[in-house]
Amino acid sequence: MGYDNSKIYKLVCDDGYYYYGSTIQTLDERLWHHRGSSKTMTSKLYSHMREIGLEKVRIELVETVVCRNRKELRTVENKYILADINDTMCLNTLRSYTSETEKRAMEKERQTRNKDHRAEVVHSYYETHKDEINDRHKSYYSENKDVIGGKQKEYNEKHKDDIKSQRKQYYDENKERLCREKREKREENKEETKQKQSEYREKNRERINQLKRDAYSNKKEIERLRETSV
């Protein structure tokens, strides 16, 4: 039996629900197979057929098409499914055909969804176990500090030019923002900075005064040597 007399059909239920399909069999044969499948299969269509009674489902011809193979027939069927798949009365839940381009796009979308989901799971786990994770990291770093430091130093030395270039590029691209944040931070901490400077001067008063005296003595000595040389 070939595809030159293929059929797009519609299963119509007495309550208004419907389902699109395709076949190269006669419509009576296809309906007989659907009724047989409804006894064991659990899809939306077959569950509904059992619910309302098999005698309340009839089959109608939608279109006769000439095709070369099953793929072409499924492609035609798919047009009807996609047109009505969002209709609440439509019992089709899946496409009958998906092209390789559509498969790749769907797979990419699935991976994106999974990536976002994984990120949410990881973030949620971290928020719940933040202290425990930080303690483990601290413990690991403490036990392997020399090894980690050595590897980091080796990496930095090996990629010194790349790191320098990346830092410069980042600074050039974000110069305005970085300068603004630096000014804002300096303004926010102005009083704290003054306090620290005052405390430092008070704590190191004698040392600072001695440095000033030494600087003054050096200046006088330089002036004396200049006068002598003249």
Classify residue 81 as exposed, middle or buried by CB count within 10 Å of its CB (0-12, 13-18, 19+).
Answer: buried
- Check residue 93 and give its pLDDT: 94
- Give the predicted TM-score (pTM) of the model: 0.49
- Check residue 143 and give its pLDDT: 86
Along the 230 residues of the chain, how does pLDDT read in single tens digits? 689 999 999 999 999 999 999 999 999 999 999 999 999 999 999 999 999 999 999 999 999 999 999 999 999 999 999 999 999 999 999 999 887 887 788 788 888 888 878 888 888 888 888 888 888 888 888 888 888 888 888 888 899 898 989 999 999 989 888 898 888 888 888 888 888 888 888 888 888 888 888 888 888 778 777 777 65
- Check residue 68 and give its pLDDT: 93
Class of CATH domain 6-97: alpha beta
Write the CA distances from 102 to 74, 115, 190, integer angstroms. Answer: 15, 20, 59
- Check residue 230 and give its pLDDT: 58
Domain positions in the chain are 6-97, 101-125, 144-189
Q: Nearest to residue 16, comparing CAs of 48, 41, 64?
A: 48
Q: CB of 96 within 8 A of CB of 6?
A: no
